Amino acid sequence: MRIGRNLLVTLQGDLEDATVEQIERVVTGEVARTQARGMLIDISGLTLVDSFVARVIARLVGMVRLLGAETTLVGMQPAVAITLVELGVSMKHVHTALNAEQGMARLAGLRDDRLY
Amino acid sequence: MTVSTEGVTQTVTIGAESDLLRVRTTLRAESQAAGLGLTAATKLVTAGSELARNIVRYAVHGQGEVLIEALERGGKRGVRATFSDAGPGIPDLEAAMSDNFTTGGGLGLGLPGSKRLVDEFSIDTGPGRGTTVVITQWGR
């Protein structure tokens, strides 16, 4: 979904590896096509993030950054966050926010910083 | 303390990446049935996903199976999952159990990470005799 110059991507449920990789390809293409400046990935409906899913999300964020758009990951479930930390996945290069509202505010703030 | 299985066992065969979803769905359903909390259940399902993916990635033709059992011990209920394959086995277990060690191009978090996520973890492996990993998560 597109909101202004931002793309909103919603991930839900428990995704197969192939689906995750397909989403990665489609979203990267969409960012290029729409020349989006920001992307919000809402994972509040994602019940499982294992090392594979985390790796693909981090890779997607990296690719989208090369296309000139910043990403904020929002809505991670507490159980998923605890699990990722114990698993050893830091996702330290990925910006996160508690919810979509804060995520949008962050993306807006990033663009303002660039203007001045 | 004696551990008894409640007689509910399920086997999920693994032969392709698409089977990971069935492993996770079964583990999640068993976790709910055993009354595990959301965090304990999420940890177990995630550990199971990592171990099942190891089978797909490293075992011969990615073949193996997962046995999932409901447990009871001293009034506590739990879920045990046994991941076994007849693959090449792990020659250097100490290295494989350390963070960021990988021979398959992954993050190298599968085994050590899975161990951190569950209450009990044991592994039996060696060159030529395949690999069996047993993980257990207990309710409060």
Q: How do residues A43-76 score in pLDDT, each as one tens digit?
A: 999 999 999 999 999 999 999 999 999 999 999 9
CA atoms A46, B58, B32, A89: torsion sign = negative
CATH of domain B3-138: 3.30.565.10
Nearest CA in chain B to A87: B113
3 state DSSP class of A20: helix
**What integer pLDDT is reported at residue B97 of this predicted model?**
86
Q: Which fold has domain A2-108?
A: Transcription Regulator spoIIAA (3.30.750)
**What integer pLDDT is reported at residue B91 of this predicted model?**
82
From the CA of A108, how many Å to the nearest CA of chain B? 33
- Tens digit of each residue's pLDDT (9 = 90 or more) over A20-38: 999 999 999 999 999 999 9
Q: Give Cβ neighbours of residue A73 (< 8 Å, ≥ 6 apart).
A: A41, A43, A57, A61, A91, A94, A95, A96, A97, A103
Q: Which segments in chain B show pLDDT lower than 70? A: 1-7, 104-108
Chain B residues close to A55, C-beta within 8 Å: 106-107
* B113 interfaces chain A, CB cutoff of 8 Å: yes
Cross-chain CB nearest to B116 (options A16, A50, A87): A87
Query: CA-CA-CA-CA torsion for B39, B121, B134, B103, nearest 10 degrees?
Result: 100
Residue in B62, B68, B118 with CA at minimum distance from that of residue B86: B62
